[in-house]
């Protein structure tokens, strides 16, 4: 059961919201949401509900025992990370040993959302250890903090000092929250069902059969995946934030027009903001950040991005993806002064629209190239893909019908281009500060028209209206 599942809309959400609305206390509201969250998680794989409860219990006990000794927080965080290590990285760490000794290790099924709720529990424990947060005494409140169904599968990763105060207070049901929920959720569903799932038809085929294609076809496919992963994950995040608002919780943005970034550092201020914030606060700063000299700063940056790559998946291709982003940032820092002097000598106005457009194009190209390693599944596949992409360049592939052979018809391409155009327009408006708040300030008729247009687009052009079905959220696998 996912946010775009009919069972979720026909049964789970109406029942959950109706019972929640009848509660007269914060504790009653929290209990209903906690039980609903466990049911939601069990719909993915009921066997791992016990693991979720175990991790919840570890975090709760670590915080409660911190009054005796703060080191209990570190011990509990270490145990949480050990659980993540066992389930996610055992095969990666021991796979080479098994191959060398001539035996294969049994596959361990990765529990959905494990990386997210482990990091969320660790953030709470680190904040308690550092004195930024008082330990939560109510097990129901803490359980909801970890298990809350909008965020437990794929985030956004929440910090205890931001979410727990909202959990402790009774939430009133407000019309403004419902309006925000409807608009934000429909926009997220539009990104997922109209854009991401349609692009998945092409990328799902070409990232498997890449060895049969070359040049421009693979370049277009890599750009398609660049847009797919954004539409998929940002779509999920918008829906999660919207669902949380329906129940009175306010979560921060997880994406802020990342493909309009002016550099790689700027990109990471805009992409998966909750994870970037987690690594910055709980890894980069404790390593010393930029306080211990330039060389140490570069080492810290590379460590953070290598760990980020491993967090996304136990494969060398993810490690290289992280290393690329680390190198992008280090090279950017190393060449900053030289580039500034060069621009000055050439009389280039670095504040001009043309220059900023060039910055965005270069950043987008670098990010798109790195996504190949993220998507390929293995380092060997990624390298072959890149080799084929850089050979046999044939520009006529755009016009000879080659791209129509991947399950995306001419009509599908037209729908995609229009949908991507809408996404670009909305991103440009948000970049100028014109957010969904502007729509919410309009009258009922204007808001209803926007929501109706999004709903009809999803019904007619989305995964349920075409000849394909909704795919799983990409980040649910992490």
Kindly list the catalytic residues: 312
CA atoms of 286 and 327, how far apart (whole Å): 21
CB 474 within 8 A of CB 229: yes
CA-wise closest residue to 427 among 239, 234, 278: 234
Query: Contact, 382 vs 391, CB < 8 A?
Result: no
Of the candidates 10, 23, 14, the one whose C-alpha atom is nearest the C-alpha of residue 173 is: 23
Tokens found for residue 56: 């919840």
**CA nearest 89: which of 253, 319, 386, 303?**
319
Contacts with 25 (C-beta within 8 Å, 6 or more apart), sequence order:
170
Between CA 232 and CA 406 the distance in angstroms is 20
Q: Which of 98, 144, 103 is nearest to 120 (CA)?
A: 144
Burial class from Cβ neighbours inside 10 Å (0-12, 13-18, 19+) for residue 27 reads middle
Q: With contact defined as beta carbons under 8 Å apart, do 185 and 239 qualify? A: yes
Q: CA 43 to CA 1: how far, in whole Å?
A: 6
């Amino acid at each position: 059961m996912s946010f775009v599942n009919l069972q979720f809309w026909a049964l789970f959400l109406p029942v959950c919201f109706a019972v929640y609305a009848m509660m007269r206390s914060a504790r009653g509201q929290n209990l209903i949401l906690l039980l609903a969250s466990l049911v939601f998680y069990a719909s993915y794989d009921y066997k791992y509900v016990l693991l979720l409860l175990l991790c919840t219990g570890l975090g709760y006990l670590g915080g409660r025992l911190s009054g005796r000794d703060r080191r209990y927080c570190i011990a509990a965080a270490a145990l949480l990370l050990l659980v993540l290590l066992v389930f996610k990285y055992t095969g990666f760490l021991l796979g080479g040993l098994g191959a060398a000794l001539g035996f294969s290790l049994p596959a361990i099924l990765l529990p959905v959302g494990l990386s997210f709720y482990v990091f969320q529990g660790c953030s709470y424990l680190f904040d308690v250890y550092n004195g930024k947060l008082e330990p939560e005494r109510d097990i129901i409140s803490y359980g909801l903090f970890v298990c809350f169904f909008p965020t437990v599968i794929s985030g956004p990763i929440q910090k205890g000092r931001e979410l727990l105060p909202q959990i402790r207070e009774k939430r009133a049901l407000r019309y403004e929250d419902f309006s925000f929920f409807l608009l934000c959720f429909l926009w997220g569903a539009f990104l997922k069902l109209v854009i991401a799932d349609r692009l998945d038809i092409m990328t799902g085929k070409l990232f498997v059969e890449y060895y049969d294609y070359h040049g421009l076809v693979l370049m277009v496919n890599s750009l398609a995946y660049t847009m797919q992963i954004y539409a998929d994950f940002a779509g999920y995040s918008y829906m999660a934030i919207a669902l949380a608002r329906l129940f009175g919780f306010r979560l921060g943005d997880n994406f802020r027009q990342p493909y309009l970034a002016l550099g790689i550092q700027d990109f990471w201020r805009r992409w998966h903001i909750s994870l970037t914030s987690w690594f910055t606060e709980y890894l980069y700063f404790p390593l010393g950040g930029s306080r211990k000299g330039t060389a140490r700063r570069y080492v810290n940056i590379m460590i953070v991005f290598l760990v980020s790559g491993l967090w996304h998946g136990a494969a060398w291709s993810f490690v290289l993806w992280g290393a690329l982003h680390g190198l992008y940032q280090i090279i950017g820092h190393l060449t900053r002064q030289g580039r500034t002097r060069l621009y000055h000598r050439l009389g280039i106005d670095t504040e001009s629209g043309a220059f900023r457009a060039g910055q965005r194009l270069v950043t987008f190209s670098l990010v798109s190239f790195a996504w190949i390693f993220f998507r390929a599944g293995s380092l060997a596949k990624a390298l072959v893909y890149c080799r084929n992409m850089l050979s046999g360049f044939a520009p006529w592939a755009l016009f000879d019908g080659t791209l129509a052979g991947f399950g995306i018809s001419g009509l599908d391409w037209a729908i995609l281009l229009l949908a991507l155009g809408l996404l670009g327009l909305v991103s440009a408006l948000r970049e100028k500060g014109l957010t969904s708040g502007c729509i919410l300030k309009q009258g009922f008729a204007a808001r209803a028209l926007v929501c109706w247009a999004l709903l009809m687009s999803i019904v007619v052009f989305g995964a349920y209206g075409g000849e394909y079905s909704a795919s799983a959220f990409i980040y649910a696998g992490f």
